[in-house]
A = this chain, B = another copy of it.
Amino acid sequence: MEKITLAGALNRALRDAMRADESVVVFGEDVGPLGGVFRVTDGLTAEFGESRCFDTPLAESGIVGMAIGMAMNGFRPVVEMQFDAFAFPAFEQIVSHVAKMRNRTLGAVTLPLVIRIPYGGGIGGVEHHCDSSEAYYAHTPGLQVFTPSTAADAYGLLRSALTGTDPVVFLEPKKLYWTKEERDPSVAVPPPGRAVVRRPGTDATLIAYGPAVPVALDAASVAASEGRSLEVVDLRTIVPFDDETVCASVARTGRAVVVAEAPGFASVASEIAARVSERCFSSLSAPVRRVTGFDVPFPPPAYESLYLPGVDRILDAVDDLQWELV
């Protein structure tokens, strides 16, 4: 079978969507001839011309603001924020407009647009290049938040983001861009809002999304070799959230650890922990633990491995799940 990277899958999704739907346009900083700093838009200007994939002036509020207008007038824009800290200049446009337009016009004006944001660390990047900002978007009512952890999901979720009428913040785990995967086009990706059990297990559930998924899977492998069976759930979409899959897993295992790269305080991991604690209360044999980035600014490359949730920290948290009571 053909091998494809996550970045390549995204590129293919954009290309296929642009072929299928004339209204799809791609723009942002360096997405044209350069193909984006991560090459996700590689070749699109060449295939579709300057009018469908183009560079803009360097202004993120401008990019998102213009996307709003184009979406109001018949297009389906896909914009790229170069790194996730560089989406912050667009925060007002995203929170006050992208998220609210459908609602404030009672459905009369919809904004079918996608804001692609490379996110997370693990690439040895310098300051402002490794943030995880999913909590800001997930907390904002009116935004859908998708984040793939595999090339297949990257393709499927981006295609589905490009079919609905609601805006999607599409978070791409930078460190997985170059991970290669066999490509099996016959596997369809389910609609947004469906988490997936990436690895079945019986003793505890690791709940993760995006860049944390492979780490959780690694942890599960190590745990297995130590005789503990961990189930790994990959959320795929943070909004909508799949309570059903998550709770079914925790109901089965009775224990849960949430794994996420972002600082833990008031985060998506907090939400997951709170929901699971509430909804699976009677099934839980131990408190839900969180293994997240610390509540510090993302550190310089030399400190990255200390900061990021890794296999050891996950296994420590699993060890803490009151097994002595079993």
Contact = CB atoms under 8 A, between A and B. Distances in A.
A103 interface: yes
Given A85-B96, A274-B273, A277-B277, A127 B139 contact: no
Interface string A83-100: 001001101100110011
A12 interface: no
A267 interface: yes
Contacts of A142: 296-297
A50 to B, nearest CB: 29
Interface stretch (A14-22, A166-174, A206-214, A287-295): A287-295
A141 B297 contact: yes
A124 to B, nearest CB: 17
Interface of A: 61, 85, 88-89, 91-92, 95-96, 99-100, 103-104, 127-128, 135-136, 138-142, 238-239, 241, 262-263, 265-271, 273-274, 277-279, 281, 286-290, 294-297
Contact of A267 (B92, B266, B273, B287): B266
A297 B139 contact: no
Pick the 7 closest A-B CB pairs, nearest first: A277-B277, A88-B92, A91-B91, A273-B274, A281-B287, A139-B266, A278-B287
A300 to B, nearest CB: 9
A141 to B, nearest CB: 5
Nearest to A145: B266
Contact of A273 (B135, B278, B297): B278
A250 to B, nearest CB: 13
A265 B239 contact: yes
B290 A274 contact: yes
A140 B100 CA distance: 23
Contact of A265 (B89, B263, B271, B281): B271
Nearest to A262: B139
